[in-house]
Structures are given as C-alpha cells and as structure tokens.
Amino acid sequence: MKYPLNVTSEIGVLRTVLLHRPGREVENLTPDTLERLLFDDIPFLPVVQKEHDYFASTLQNRGIEVLYLEKLVSETLSTDELRKQFINQILSESKLSSTVLEDQLREYLITLSADKLVDTVMVGIQKKEMNFKSSNHLSEMMLETNPFYMDPMPNLYFTRDPAAVIGNGISINRMNRVARQRESLFLDYIIKYHPRFAKANIPIWFDRTASHPMEGGDQLVLSSDVIAIGVSDRTSPQAIEEMAVNIFENQKDIKKVLAIEIPKKRAFMHLDTVFTMVDYDKFTIHPEIQGEDGSMNIYILEKGKEKGSCTITRKTDLFATLKDVLKLKDVALIPCGGGDPIAAAREQWNDGSNTLAIAPGVVVTYDRNYVSNSVIRSYGVEVVEVLSSELSRGRGGPRCMSMPINRDNL
C-alpha cells in the first residue's frame, strides 16, 4: 500500500484498528464533573476494562490488528525534544489558571518517562498529588472546589471522534466540547512523529486548528468516491464545507460529500449513533431522525468550477439519495428496535444503531440491544455481540470505540 492509512468504505474487511483501553481517567469522574466531562454516569472500571478487553479480543480473533492509543503516543514521544514540545502544548491547551501553576506542572511532567507522561496526562492531575506552592491568584482561589489541576480525559476510549481516516488521508478533528479538545493532539503527534506514519506524507483533510468543529462520529466513508458527514450537535456545516473543498482540491477519488442533518440533541450525538452502514446496500437507522413523511435535509457537495468552491444540491429522501450516489438498485434501511417506539428509543440510547462493520455483512454490536440485533440478523447480516453493561454508560457503541486505520478496498 502506498500509505499506512487506507479506508475507502465503511464495510471493507477491517485489517487495523486503533483502540484505547479505559484507564484510571474513568475513575476520576465524580458526580460534580459528569456534565462537564460529558458523562451521564460513572462506569465501574474493572468491569469496563473487562468488557473492553472482550471487544478487543473479538476483533483480534477475526484477524484484525489492534493498536492502542496510549502505546502509540508513548512510542511517539521517544526523544526529550518531542516530550518537551508535547508538554508545552498540552499545558497550553489545558487552559490553566496561572503561569505559576503552568511552570510548576511543567517542572513535574518533564521528569516523567514517556509512558508515565502519557498516563498522567490522560488520567488527569489531582491537586492532592502535588505539593505545589500556594497562589494568591483570584482565578486559582475560585477553583479550589475543583480537585484537579489538569482534568482527566474519560472519553478517550471513544477513539472514533478525535480523528478519522478517509481514503489515504486523515481528518484530525477540532472537537466541539472543551472536555474533549485535547484528545486530537494525541493523533496529531502520532501522524506527524510516530515512525509508522511520519515518513508517509499523509494528507490532512481537516486540521484540529480549524475555526469550526467536526467529530469523527459524524464522518462515514460510504464508498471510494462518496463520504457522508452529519450536521449534528458536534459538527458544523462550515467545517463540512471546509473539509469538502480541501478534499476536492487535493485528491481525485472522492467526488461527493453528503451533509446529512440530524436533530441536535444529546441522544443523537453523532450521525453514527443513528445511522451506520452494515453491507453494500444495508444501513441501520433510527426512525426518529426522519420526518413523518420520511424526509430529511441532505446536501450533496461536489467540486465547483472555481477553485475552492463547491456546488451544493439539496435532497430530502435518504433512501433515494443513497441509491443514487452509491449506484444501487435497492437499499434496506434497518430500523433500530424494529421501529417499535419504546424499543427504538431505549436501544438507540444504548447505541443500537452504532455498529462496527468488520467485513461486508458482518458487524459488531452491543449485546444489550437484543431487539435491534435480531432485526439486523433478519436482513441476512452476521451480528457479533460484545459485552456492554458498563461500556454503554459512556454513550458510545462499537463504532464509537474504534478508529479504523486500514480496510481492504471493495
């Protein structure tokens, strides 16, 4: 392969995937920080790790190479120069309350090995762990109730969102919520400095320094020439257009970008929480994202005649649009919960529509979504169930927990 990245569909046989095993950052959640750190509950760490290990083993047993985020970052920060650079950047992005505190944290972090540094930054730095000088700064005194100098990153096990491989390039995303914005810094360093990726001159379709937010859960590679991006609570239309222009100007394969608008609500966080591809002509869908007549707002972006421009065509029928852009005779939209209003709402909340395709017609799902899983099987799709009692508390399913790096082309 020309590049170490290759994802030209949602369903091509999965060869390599990036995961993050939940760590002590999950135990640093408290009731007072749940809303700020984007959780609805506190997972029980030993069980959430057991379930994640089961998920990883399920993929490995299918011959899929599993890479771990924490290991790649540690391998990336292999020199003193890179560690210093990373420390300065993570401190800057942590928006600390004073330069005095920043200097003290820098002095501490610089003494750590790469492994310990990565773990510390991910887990967060509690005030009780540090013997720092007291400060008379008002900003620090007002934050005395916060037990952390540096917040933990409990959302890291959802590796789908900070970056997404599209074709042979990557979108390194500007995360919408402050609690997650530092996460994409890890991917930025891996792509630029890790020996597996650094020499490949990988195209960056979207950069984390962009003005408008985009997250990977909204980014779906439908085929080698069509991608779909959700206009959601976390991804803005401006970001979609910016990336579409960059893609059209810098490669020739991808011809269309579908911007699919979904309701902006917590339950429908990203496009992949309500819509995923499971086979060449089959998709899961949560019926509530469509109007009573089945209509939606769908915008097809294509390269414009003038440099840096797009032509935009509005559609309202998802079924017809998918058939058209993917050149299919027919399309099956598989309803979450079988379309039952109670089962659909319950199982969508637990990511019943959030499937990870590991081959055409083979998907990984949460075992708790038994109604949706049964319906998906009735369409001839193989469903591989994984444990989910604690993992699901984070509001993300198997697709959310995985960042495909390599898939076979269809």
The tokens 């042979």 sit on which residue? 168
Residue type present at position 179: A
CA atoms of 119 and 240, how far apart (whole Å): 33
Query: Pairing mode, if any, of strands 356-359 and 295-303?
Result: unpaired
Q: Per DSSP, what are the bridge partners of residue 315?
A: 298
What own/partner pairs with CB < 8 Å and gap ≥ 24 does 342-346 have? 343/371, 343/372, 344/286, 344/287, 344/288, 345/288
| DSSP reduced 3-state for 356 | strand
Residues 6+ apart with CB under 8 A from 252: none
CA atoms of 387 and 374, how far apart (whole Å): 16
177 sits in the region (left: phi over 0; alpha: psi -120 to 50; else beta) called beta
**Alpha-carbon separation of residue 247 from 110, 159, 244, 308 (angstroms):** 38, 22, 5, 10
Tokens at 362, concatenated: 């083979």
Residues 6+ apart with CB under 8 A from 249: 303, 307, 308
3-state helix, strand, coil in the chain (%, to 5): 35, 25, 40
The tokens 């773990």 sit on which residue? 119
294 DSSP 8-state letter: S
- The dihedral formed by the CA atoms of 155, 156, 159 and 161, expressed in degrees to the nearest 10: 50
Rg for the chain, CA atoms, rounded: 21
The set of catalytic residues is 400
CA atoms of 108 and 246, how far apart (whole Å): 40
